[in-house]
Chains A and B, each alone.
Chain A
Amino acid sequence: DAGVIQSPRHEVTEMGQEVTLRCKPISGHDYLFWYRQTMMRGLELLIYFNNNVPIDDSGMPEDRFSAKMPNASFSTLKIQPSEPRDSAVYFCASRLGGRGLNEQFFGPGTRLTVL
């Protein structure tokens, strides 16, 4: 398996522009998580999906952020409009559900810079 795939790996944009980050989870995993990593706040959970349905979006910072999962193999995180304080590394992770100690597998991340 190729692991969790994220694109783009790097994104530089100007304030006010729309940004879309993409994630392909590991095939068969039924949970998908979006995280944001910054120096100030560390790793924060933004939202997670179960079987393509958003379950908990309490970590989404504000209405400018939205996430979708139209099918089991694709998810997007959109920021519109973007602001400099959104600059961070955004990680996607997926996990096989169930009662076992199944860990989350992380993608390589997307480094977002908003100028």
Chain B
Amino acid sequence: DVVMTQSPLSLPVTLGQPASISCRSSQSLVYSDGNTYLNWFQQRPGQSPRRLIYKVSNRDSGVPDRFSGSGSGTDFTLKISRVEAEDVGVYYCMQHTHWPFTFGPGTKVDMK
């Protein structure tokens, strides 16, 4: 199985400041069709996961443009340009290139 790792696992943030989460996969996530199937999710306390980013860098509808995704191959990053209070929660990366699909362990983002 593809192992997804994230760092840091805990990220204290300051309102208005940038934040960055790294996600690494144990093997390349480039599929034979040329696409890289790497998603990012936000899970606020007590809520279901919400997809933020699909295929590495495509923002979902309604997701604020302060969220951005980048990366390739085995190294990926989720960035928040200016953290807002509503961004508190746990962030997961997930690959759906290889069966079984796998998630990272999650990065808990909270206010300093």
- Say whether A associates with B: no
Could you tell me which A residues sit within 8 Å of B by CB distance? Answer: none
Could you list which residues of chain B lie within 8 angstroms of chain A, going by C-beta atoms?
none
